[in-house]
Copies of this chain bind each other. A is one copy, B any other.
Amino acid sequence: MAKTNPEIALDSFDLAILTILQNDNATPQRMIGEAVNLSAPAVQRRIKRMEQAGVIQANCAIVDPAKVGQPITIFVEVEVISETAELIDAAKAEFSATPEVQQCYYVTGEADFILVIVAATMADYEALTRRLFFGNSNVKKFRTFFAMDRVKVGLRVPLGDKARAS
């Protein structure tokens, strides 16, 4: 796993570039350069620098789950019985290794984990619960929320309006 490099300073050019790339990373560097008033090579060097520093974690295509036969999105709050480091790490590892688990967060509050799961059918989800939750003796309880509407989905990070044009 590519370890994330030391912190780097980001100026308003970088933030403006990131804002564009978060929308569409297929934007030509020349166009980005025009938008932020920089030459294409300068844009390219900044992008590479941010990728190496881990500011840009990945470049990926966003697929509509419903269009590929996975129309069900589910939230699950998981509460565990014993919160030792070993058991928590084991749970993290298992959730991470499960492809249907799109997102997994270890949280404070009334639950310990929050999962976002995509599934093709209710039967698939039920089978998954049997494996992940009923099959795990450390899971005390879990609560399920079915998504009726994916109102807003994304991983866009708000960067303020530090964009610069001059």
Contact = CB atoms under 8 A, between A and B. Distances in A.
Interface of A: 4, 7, 10, 15, 18, 21-26, 53-65, 67-68, 70, 73, 75, 92, 95-96, 99-111, 113-114, 118, 143-159
A68 B99 CA distance: 28
A52 B75 CA distance: 29
Contacts of A55: 63-64, 67-68
B62 A56 contact: yes
A67 B49 CA distance: 13
18 contacts: A4-B67, A15-B68, A18-B61, A21-B63, A22-B63, A23-B58, A54-B67, A55-B68, A58-B62, A58-B154, A60-B155, A60-B156, A92-B149, A106-B148, A107-B147, A111-B145, A113-B151, A154-B155
